[in-house]
């Protein structure tokens, strides 16, 4: 029993610096209030995550696809500016690659949507970050 008490005391002493903020140690009442607040927010955070996945993922997919189409249109414009006879074969040859690009972009959008829903729900439930309206991580 004594070993358990000593072990718990050591663990409690190690946790104290983790609560330090700019050299000010919060009171136990502040820690308890923050814990109660965070515990009460769990249902809201779960609801925020669920709606973020359902609503934010298609938004992220559409935003990723729009960015890729902009890049694709820019590269085609450069092909047309060259004024040679390889524009049509180049366009035809790029069709299989564009199919793979769409699949990759959908995967990227799903990862962005779920990731933004998770991180946004933890930090600030039901914010713009949850629905992929602010931050968009792309591979480019």
Give residue 65's region: left, alpha or beta (phi > 0; psi -120 to 50): alpha
Quick one: angle between helices 95-123 and 57-81, nearest 10?
140
Are residues 100 and 54 part of one domain?
yes
Q: Which residue has the tokens 């990731």?
A: 115
Question: What is the number of structural domains in the chain?
Answer: 2
The answer to whether residues 28 and 73 belong to one domain is: no
Q: Residue 8 belongs to what domain range?
A: 2-40
Residue at 137 is within a domain: no
Whether 73 maps to a domain, the answer reads yes
Q: What are phi and psi of 21, to 5 degrees?
A: -135, 110
The series of mean pLDDT values per 10 residues for the chain, 140 residues long, is 67 56 74 85 91 93 89 80 68 79 89 91 90 76
Is there a single domain that holds both residue 104 and residue 115? Answer: yes
pTM: 0.69
């Amino acid at each position: 029993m004594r070993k358990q008490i000593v072990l718990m005391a050591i663990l409690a002493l190690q946790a104290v610096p983790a609560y330090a903020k700019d050299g000010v140690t919060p009171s136990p009442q502040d820690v308890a209030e923050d814990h109660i607040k965070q515990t009460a927010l769990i249902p809201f955070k779960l609801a925020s995550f669920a709606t973020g996945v359902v609503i934010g993922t298609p938004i992220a997919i559409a935003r990723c696809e729009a960015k890729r189409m902009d890049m694709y249109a820019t590269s085609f414009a450069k092909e047309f500016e060259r004024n040679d006879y390889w524009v049509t074969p180049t366009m035809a040859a790029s069709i299989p690659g564009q199919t793979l690009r769409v699949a990759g972009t959908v995967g990227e959008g799903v990862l962005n949507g779920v990731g933004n829903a998770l991180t946004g729900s933890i930090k600030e439930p039901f914010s713009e970050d949850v629905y992929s309206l602010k931050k968009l991580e792309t591979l480019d």
